[in-house]
């Protein structure tokens, strides 16, 4: 069975400083991994995805994530936070054996201070 | 291009009443999904559908009913609403082809059961 753990429920950063959101996963098979962002009162938007190609994945809005199989991690980073990055972020795993079903982490809420 | 829409966006109902949440997508995606979002739980899959007239249970299906008579619509019905079904409900859809892993989310329906 697949599962996802987001290690921080809240992260607070200052504008212009790096952002790190941590995610660990558990999967029996080769997983696909995603990061989605949810701005207040909005739906979820795909930031980036890993599907067994390059382990360093670049997404929209300057975000990137690195797949580390040995550490079962898929941490999301951004070199310089912007006020518009304030949102909730979800790490998501999909196992090929699970068809199209996704398993979501509990979410990390990011606060950006001016 | 409307994409994926949900209606109503906000709903207040009473315990025991039947409620139907609508989801409509204009992309002719084969797969459609219903999730609920509760604090601390991320998103949990209620039901999904691989095609018209094909539906299957997700992680938390109890108390919900779905149907899919047309590819573009995937209504979710709470047959007898309970307070524990107060939540934000998201509909999503995805292709069945090469990019089937990416799910596209609607804006959500906030449901309050009194």
Query: pLDDT value at position A41?
Result: 79
Query: pLDDT value at position B97?
Result: 65
Q: How does residue B33 score in pLDDT terms, banded at 50, 70 and 90? A: very high
- CB-nearest partner of A49 from B44, B102, B107: B102
Query: pLDDT value at position B2?
Result: 64
**Tens of pLDDT, residues A13-28:** 999 999 999 999 988 7
- Helix, strand and coil content of chain A, in percent to the nearest 5, comes to 10, 55, 40
Token pair for A40: 């207040």
Q: Do B103 and A105 touch (CB under 8 A)?
A: no
Query: pLDDT value at position B70?
Result: 94
Name the nearest CA neighbour of A102 among A46, A20, A18.
A46
**Tens of pLDDT, residues B68-107:** 999 999 999 999 999 999 999 999 999 876 566 788 999 9
Residue with tokens 């790490």: A91
* Nearest chain B Cα distance for residue A43, angstroms: 4
Query: pLDDT value at position A27?
Result: 81
Query: pLDDT value at position A66?
Result: 94
Q: Do B101 and A43 touch (CB under 8 A)?
A: no
**Tens of pLDDT, residues A38-90:** 998 788 999 999 987 788 999 999 999 999 989 999 999 999 999 999 999 99
- CB-nearest partner of A105 from B42, B90, B107: B42
Q: Do β-strands B10-13 and B109-113 pair in parallel, antiparallel, or remain unpaired?
A: parallel
Residue B90 with chain A: CB contacts under 8 Å: 43-44
């Amino acid at each position: 069975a697949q599962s996802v753990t987001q290690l921080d429920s809240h992260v607070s950063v200052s504008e212009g400083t790096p952002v790190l959101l941590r995610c660990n996963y558990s999967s029996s098979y080769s997983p696909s991994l995603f990061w989605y962002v949810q701005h207040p009162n909005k739906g979820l938007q795909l930031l980036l995805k890993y599907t067994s190609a390059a382990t360093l994945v670049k997404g929209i809005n300057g975000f990137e994530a690195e797949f580390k199989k040995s550490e079962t991690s898929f941490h999301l980073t951004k070199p310089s936070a912007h006020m518009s990055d304030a949102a909730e972020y979800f790490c998501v795993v999909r196992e090929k054996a699970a068809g199209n079903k996704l398993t979501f982490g509990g979410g990390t809420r990011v606060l950006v201070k001016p | 291009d409307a994409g994926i829409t949900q209606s109503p966006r906000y709903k207040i109902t009473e315990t025991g009443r039947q409620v139907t949440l609508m989801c409509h997508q204009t992309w002719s995606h084969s797969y459609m999904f219903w999730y609920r979002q509760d604090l601390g739980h991320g998103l949990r899959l209620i039901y999904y559908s691989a095609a018209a007239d094909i539906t299957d249970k997700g992680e938390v299906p109890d108390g919900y009913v779905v149907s899919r008579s047309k590819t573009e619509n995937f209504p979710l019905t709470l047959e007898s609403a309970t307070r524990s079904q107060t939540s934000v409900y998201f509909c999503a859809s995805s292709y069945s082809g090469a990019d089937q892993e990416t799910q596209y989310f609607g804006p959500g329906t906030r449901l309050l059961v009194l």
